[in-house]
Amino acid sequence: MIELRTAAEIEQMRPAGRFVGEVLSALRDKADVGVNLLELDALAHEMIRARGAESCYIDYHPSFGAMPFGKVLCTSVNDAVLHGLPHDYALADGDLLSVDFACSVDGWVADSALSVVVGTPRQEDLDLIDTTTRALTAGIAQARAGNRLGDVSAAIAEIAHAEGLSVNTQFGGHGVGRTMHGDPHVPNDGRVGRGLRLRPGLVIAIEPWFLHTTDEIYTDPDGWTIRSADGSRGAHMEHTIAVTMDDAVVLTERVA
């Protein structure tokens, strides 16, 4: 069921969005050569405790997950792009790291993700992050009342296709509110003028993710981590936004 939020409820969601942005900013700054993925998860866990927030991930067990997730972050490295289960791995020079984080503050959820290169970057990784960031920006620009969901999806895909990237639509954005995942599904490819008409008060996470040379994926033996079928690297960007009559309100802005 698609729920629309009042202006007052969107204001109540702002603290969750700010906190998610703060945590991702801290994780971005912490990520460095030699830092263990479990250290990043521990940092996020400590920030959650200090804030009195609640993780959306620890007990999360959807149909596509082999077991409850058990951690508070998704940390996806190199050819992993989504749902990366934190494990005992020290980041190496040149690793492409994607971090996805969602939590609840005062009963409201926010969800966001970013990708960074650790240490010495490869230009193709920087380009992929830039493309994914521009796709997110393009999608957000279309998320306004009167447009359709297909306008958001098509704007994302246009950026990807212009760079020669293919787009997987199995996983994408989603509604956000009292829970992390709700209706509607927001694919990263679509047709202009098609789909749900956007109305003020709709709160969604928009999250483009792309792989260098494929849109085919598989799930690791850990039952969660999603990797590219051909070993190519991936990038993932996400913001929780609220639809208005004007520009969308980005609830998960990060500290510069």
- What lies within 8 Å, CB to CB, of 164 at 6+ separation is none
Query: Three-state SS string across 35-55, please?
Result: CEHHHHHHHHHHHHHHHCCEE
111 is in an annotated binding site: yes
Q: 246 — phi, psi (to 5°)?
A: -110, -145
Full DSSP string of 196-235: PBP-TTBEEEE--EEESS---EEE-TTSS-EEETTS--EE
181 is in an annotated binding site: yes
238 is in an annotated binding site: yes
Helices 123-142/149-162 angle, 10° precision: 160
100 is in an annotated binding site: yes
Distances (CA, A) of 42 to 26, 27, 30, 33, 53: 12, 10, 12, 17, 15
Token look-up 């969602």 returns 102
174 is in an annotated binding site: yes
88 is in an annotated binding site: no
User: Where is the binding site for a divalent metal cation, in residues?
Assistant: 100, 111, 174, 207, 238
User: Where is the binding site for substrate, in residues?
Assistant: 83, 181
User: Where is the binding site, in residues?
Assistant: 83, 100, 111, 174, 181, 207, 238
